[in-house]
Structure 1
């Protein structure tokens, strides 16, 4: 029986007063059930990983325009916002290093993360708090939108161990330096490193004065 039909059906007249309440109660329950069915459910968050086919997203959901990186993205991909919106000097250094690394058999500087929108950074921070159990622990891995070098376009996370190993040996010549000891994939531009070498790393992002709230 449909909800509309239930709402239209009238109870039979009964002379037994004690039995009159039964149909009334049934109609009340049916009406409440119809209201529950009519209430929309909140949208589900997409579960597909970057680069996979993703469900149609309502406005406001995080996507590639916020810095989500499709699989296979490299520092040479000019049409991916996470790469294209990096600081121009950082991007130029990455592309020159990637070109030179080819001579050593290191192919394609794959990007796991680059520029991010403030909304994307906040989502990652919220997820880190859930994962690590506190804001203090999460701060060792994810900065706030206001202090993140990713949001300003000044940091890139590279995806291949052979690339990060090559950069650990050669990156300073391009001004590309690992910033945090616990994140071997996270690189930022330090132009003075070409002459002076890369500065000492912080143990984690929470020790970086730039990330202090």
Structure 2
């Protein structure tokens, strides 16, 4: 490939990423119903028609954001707990709680958008993100099973119910958490306490 063509490809990739970043930001704040391509274009610093060069439709752009949000939080939490080989099983769950909340509320517009709009987007846009969410749910299932097998969680704990309640409550935080009234550190500690004292042996 000629050097000029390579440079053009890189520029195209950067522009595509800029559009995707802008869409994640707009979708996380305005939701599926309120997201307009003109808003995305304004954040990305482009003319709205230019978006169609990179994404065939508004829904294609939304689906990519939703998938990326689910994929990135899974990779982030996997990496955090994967680096804790010397930790107890319960410590890994508590670290996963910390990683999930900080990623969705502070680090990634993508994950905020994915969580906030999961129930708003049409069903056909949920297929690919839902597969990522299922893989993510299995990570939590394995963490809980390992902790229960190690005697670190109550033997009578219904892991499936508690896991779903935990993930649901953490995801709901995108709707009500306000950093002006409650710090993220406080939220993380309270959620970890819910695990420690609600499920711990």
TM-score normalised by the chain length of structure 2: 0.28
Q: Between Structure 1 and Structure 2, whose CA radius of gyration is higher?
A: 1
Higher relative contact order (CA 8 A, sep 6+): 2
Compare the two structures and name the one with the higher strand fraction: 1
TM-score normalised by the chain length of structure 1: 0.27
Compare the two structures and name the one with the higher helix fraction: 2
